[in-house]
A and B are shown apart, each in its own frame.
Chain A
Amino acid sequence: EADIYQTPRYLVIGTGKKITLECSQTMGHDKMYWYQQDPGMELHLIHYSYGVNSTEKGDLSSESTVSRIRTEHFPLTLESARPSHTSQYLCASSEVGAAFFGQGTRLTVV
């Protein structure tokens, strides 16, 4: 099972601020993913990476950006937060087989 960590767990921030959500995994997985999920709603893939220096947009259009400079690290950045960005953001990683999720970051933009 992967160890995958997300920080912060909760974030309340004002409109217009730049934020970075951190995601790190210790299992050396090549594939990493960011999902967005509103309460009671389905998961939406917003970004994924299948290795260092590779990033792809997911199925849901997002104003966020990601980078993958190191295998273990896949941060997500919002340059200017808006109330519409309020959601839960889930990071996951996989190698062969299942994806394993971090505990998530619940973001509230006020």
Chain B
Amino acid sequence: QKEVEQNSGPLSVPEGAIASLNCTYSDRGSQSFFWYRQYSGKSPELIMSIYSNGDKEDGRFTAQLNKASQYVSLLIRDSQPSDSATYLCAVSGGYNFNKFYFGSGTKLNVKP
């Protein structure tokens, strides 16, 4: 079983729609959760961090965490073509607190 699971996609949404990206993790002791955006050929860029249950909003992005269900999600409102990228979910702070565990990423396509 992988530490972090994501649907690889591609997820296609029309411009202006809400994109919903999901992630599950296996280590119940995990404490910190992150979403990264990675454009093709570039390095991952942090877009959201979340540490406690509930929602955290930053502009058009909302991260949601449910530790009981071991589930993290990212909502992108008013999706733009520039949001087209691969989104990586990452988890840390579990049994090996020095390491980050990354999912394989979900590819998002926003169609004009």
Residues of A participating in the B interface, judged by any CB pair closer than 8 Å: 1, 31, 33, 39, 41-43, 45, 48, 50, 56, 58, 90, 92, 94, 97-104
**Residues of A with C-beta under 8 A to B40:** 39
Return the chain A residue nearest B97 by Cβ: A50
**Residues of A with C-beta under 8 A to B98:** 31, 48, 50, 56
User: Are A101's CB and B43's CB within 8 A?
Assistant: yes
**Min distance, Cβ B41 to any Cβ of chain A, angstroms:** 8
**Min distance, Cβ A36 to any Cβ of chain B, angstroms:** 12
- B contact residues, total (Cβ < 8 Å): 20
User: Are A101's CB and B45's CB within 8 A?
Assistant: yes
8 A-B pairs with CB atoms under 8 Å apart are A31-B98, A50-B98, A97-B49, A98-B49, A98-B90, A101-B44, A101-B45, A104-B43
User: Are B99's CB and A45's CB within 8 A?
Assistant: yes
Return the chain B residue nearest A2 by Cβ: B46
**Residues of B with C-beta under 8 A to A98:** 32, 34, 46, 49, 90
Identify which of B41, B46, B104, B105 contacts A100 (C-beta below 8 A). B46
User: Are B32's CB and A43's CB within 8 A?
Assistant: no
Known contacts A43-B88, A45-B100; 10 additional CB pairs below 8 A are A39-B41, A42-B102, A42-B104, A43-B102, A90-B44, A98-B46, A98-B90, A99-B90, A99-B100, A101-B44
Annotate B88-112 by CB proximity to A: 1 below 8 A, 0 otherwise. 1010100000111011110000000
Which of A50, A94, A98, A103 has the most chain B CB atoms closer than 10 A to its own CB? A98
**Residues of B with C-beta under 8 A to A50:** 98
- A1–B49 Cα gap in the complex (Å)? 13
- A92–B104 Cα gap in the complex (Å)? 17
**Residues of B with C-beta under 8 A to A33:** 100
Which of B49, B88, B90, B92 has the most chain A CB atoms closer than 10 A to its own CB? B92
**Min distance, Cβ A61 to any Cβ of chain B, angstroms:** 16
- A33–B100 Cα gap in the complex (Å)? 9
Annotate B38-53 by CB proximity to A: 1 below 8 A, 0 otherwise. 0011111110010000
